[in-house]
Structure 1
Amino acid sequence: MRTDPSRPTAIEPSAPATAGAPLPLAGVRVLELGQLIAGPFATRMLGEFGAEVLKVEPPGQGDPLRNWRLLHQGTSVWWQVQSRNKKSLSLDLREPEIQALVRRLAGECDVVVENFKPGTLEAWGLGWDDLHALYPRLIMLRVSGYGQTGPYRDRPGFGVVAEAMGGLRHLSGEPGRPPVRVGISIGDSLSALHGVIGVLLALRAREQQGVGQMIDVALYESVFNMMESLLPEYAVFGEVRQPAGSSLPGIAPSNAYACRDGYVLVAGNGDSIFRRLMDLIERPDLGEDPALAHNTGRVARVDEIDAAIGAWAAARTQDEALEALNRARVPAGRIYDIADIAADPHYHARQMLLEDTLPDGTPCQVPGIVPKLSATPGSIRAAAPALGQHTDEILTALGVDAATREQWRSQGLI
């Protein structure tokens, strides 16, 4: 596995690749103009599967994510994950000379990824119309709060707002209590995943048709796309789904049940699974009741079923309950925090916890790579870069001489 020699790392490859097989996105060059989460998460995934990612950051502080949450020697440990396999250029995009440079750099790339407010790149001469006219084969992924069109396009949009507008926040929490945040920036991450899908589709279309295209990903739409049957239920029945806590509304039984020392999640909603579950908790009267043979009947009596499972769980520890449920082939599990994840043998066996080192040699675990491809698995080939670490390398390749680079550096442009 190749690594950046200036940033040693102890990361192991996520899986053995077929000998000599290139990564699926090898040869694809991506220019990242985004920051924080949505755009950079998309390019992180592209980079893990072989794309060369050139990340543009403003001089000085760089991407604000470098300073988010817990810092080690002034840099977020999150940065180690979000920016692995990337090269950092420190450029001031507000300056006309740099805008002209970036237009040239875009011509050297297959994909441009950005997550600025709509209109920002247009003001810099770097919008889709500008770049597409120059480079018809270029693909551009644009991630924004509300998309590039529509009455809300000019509003500032963050993931938390998108989660609310997309319908997720309304469903999160306990009945009768204020809605709660999911706990992570899920709106941004979902948008990144939709963006990656869009890029892969656009690359395939370019193979077929010879031209690139623009991919318009809105944060709120990425959330809304996950909202299952909310819209048809409302359209047909006037049903507005409400928060349901830990239960799965309309599917029974599926809930969290209190044991002596914590909770277990039980998904006993398949017909045959339900019968096995009722046998396990010694409630054959429920398991053999014809009215409960299918989900519709169970939903009508979900409180009765939950009470029976809850009584069984309350008399046991988590380990006792889970051992019995697994023996009975009933899907069940405990609620993990990160300490549970870090200690779990299955995570380790699946290489989802990789050993890394921070720039000063401090050990650090980072998440493994998803999805897992059997012949051409993704890899971590270089650690997250220092700010501007690759500026000179990439500008030199573009033909910018040393004197010009030093002049720009003295002016704070790079």
Structure 2
Amino acid sequence: MSLNNMKENKPLQDIKVLEFGSFIAGPFCTRLMADFGAEVIKIESPTSGDPLRNWGSAKYKGESLWWPIQARNKKCITLNLKENKGQEIAKKLVKEADIVVENFRPGTMEKWGLGYDDLKEINPSLIMVRISGFGQTGPYKDKAGFGSVGEAMGGLKHITGYPDRPPTRVGVSIGDSLTAMFGVIGALIALHHRNQSPDRRGQLVDTALYESVFAIMESSLTEFMKVGAIRQRTGTILPGVAPTNNYPTKSGKWIVIGANADNIFKRLTKVMDREELSEDDKFSSHNARGANQEELDNIISKWTVQYELDELTEMLDQAGVPAGGIYTAEDIANDIHYQMRDMILQITDKKLGELHMPGIVPKLSETPGTVDWTGPELGEHNEEVYKNILGYNNKDYEELKEKGVI
């Protein structure tokens, strides 16, 4: 397993990763590793591949615009894991791997003889990242889990939306993405530990969707357990903290202003030419502004609606008041800061032509990540992997194809 990356000096270029999974959480986890040079081989079903290949309502010439981004920098092979021969081949690949990432329902990999206990016998140094709805243990482990369910049971949905309306969803698959990132963190921690250990022993990284969401819920549990407080939906405001809200502009766009600290509030009132507000007993302190939040937001809204977003942003930036427009994808595409920080990459896809996609996060000064290619075709790297890495000759390779193993 020694596929070469197209560019040198990447921090993970000596790390070999096998991806068993589909949709978002598992594939996003490996994509983050691939961006920094990890050699990722994605294993897909020979008949269908990852459903993400056809995902999304916005398509170009019938092609998914999710796939080229989510599978960038990866090698894609097909392998039927339901067949004994396919399982044997998977184990051969595992022997040379550093990390395996899977996001099937718990028990699926065991059914195929590819559970952690099976794989660590083959490769004791292996790190296995397992992503699931509820983790590999506990009474809920066998429940089907999706990001939306993790967001609900992790506590996020309950506090998302307006108090007089039902809970709503965040506009992206945040539960999947959070779990993917925790998977990467866990993998790198385990990798560091392995590399520091005399026996180079790997370990299991168990990441659950609901836990990844719960982990970012700040002090909500502590507040309930200690004083019985349950956070509720509050719409666009943070109760008792003002001003920090969305405010209208002249042409219908919205701007977020955060000026709840006393010194910043004074700067805001100066820009508004309403410096008397910072001396008013109703607004002169943090607690006072919180108590009169609605009145203060109305005053600010009547001021902001007189100006265009760009005018407001420039005035507030010059005054040192935190502010920014509520961006659409169009706003992001046209923003000079995004462009100058290489957060909008232009990559050529074999089928789709020129594509723009999100850049790489985080930025490393000495070993930055790169996007070298977009998501491959189904089985695009079969010959490269099966012949060059595993050493199958032409006859054996063709036989695997004929029998539907690959």
TM interval, shorter chain, is: over 0.9
**Which residue is equivalent to 1:164?**
152
Runs (5+) with no aligned partner, structure 2: none
**Which residue is equivalent to 2:294?**
303
Q: Distance in 2 between matches of 1:105 and 1:192?
A: 22
Q: Distance in 1 between matches of 2:371 and 2:306?
A: 46
* Superposed displacement of residue 349, structure 1: 0.7
TM-score, normalisation: structure 1: 0.92
Runs (5+) with no aligned partner, structure 1: 5-12, 14-20
* Superposed displacement of residue 383, structure 1: 2.7
Return the letter of the residue paired with 2:313: L
**Which residue is equivalent to 2:185?**
197
1:93-130 deviation per Cα after TM superposition (whole angstroms, max 9, x unaligned): 11111101101111110000000000000111100111
How big is the alpha-carbon RMSD for the aligned residues of Structure 1 and Structure 2?
1.8
Q: Distance in 1 between matches of 2:196 and 2:251?
A: 58
Q: Distance in 2 between matches of 1:341 and 1:316?
A: 21
**Which residue is equivalent to 2:9?**
22
**Which residue is equivalent to 1:16?**
none
Contact 1:3-1:383 at 8 Å conserved across structures: no
* Superposed displacement of residue 289, structure 1: 4.5
**Which residue is equivalent to 1:365?**
356
How is 1:15-414 mapped onto 2 (pairs within 5 angstroms)? 22-69=9-56, 70-209=58-197, 210-262=200-252, 263-289=254-280, 292=283, 294-360=285-351, 362-396=353-387, 397-414=389-406
Contact 1:136-1:212 at 8 Å conserved across structures: yes
Return the letter of the residue paired with 1:246: T
1:295-344 deviation per Cα after TM superposition (whole angstroms, max 9, x unaligned): 33432221232122122113333233222212211111111110111111
Q: Distance in 2 between matches of 1:264 and 1:107?
A: 53
- Report the CA distance shift for 1:294/1:224 in structure 2 as closer, same or farther (over 3 A): farther
SS at match of 1:194: helix
* Superposed displacement of residue 261, structure 1: 1.6
1:195-226 deviation per Cα after TM superposition (whole angstroms, max 9, x unaligned): 11111101100011221110000001111111
Contact 2:154-2:210 at 8 Å conserved across structures: yes
Q: Distance in 2 between matches of 1:365 and 1:57?
A: 25
* Superposed displacement of residue 145, structure 1: 0.3
Identity of aligned residues (%): 49
| Higher mean displacement: 147-156 or 361-370 | 361-370
Contact 1:3-1:382 at 8 Å conserved across structures: no
Q: Distance in 1 between matches of 2:159 and 2:255?
A: 21
**Residue-pair matches, total:** 398
Return the letter of the residue paired with 2:86: I
1:44-74 deviation per Cα after TM superposition (whole angstroms, max 9, x unaligned): 1101111100000001221100000133344
* Superposed displacement of residue 90, structure 1: 0.5
* Superposed displacement of residue 411, structure 1: 1.8
Q: Which has the higher contact order (CA 8 A, sep 6+)?
A: 1
- Report the CA distance shift for 1:323/1:258 in structure 2 as closer, same or farther (over 3 A): same
Contact 1:279-1:287 at 8 Å conserved across structures: no
Off by >4 Å, runs of 4+ in structure 1 = 289-294
Contact 1:162-1:220 at 8 Å conserved across structures: yes
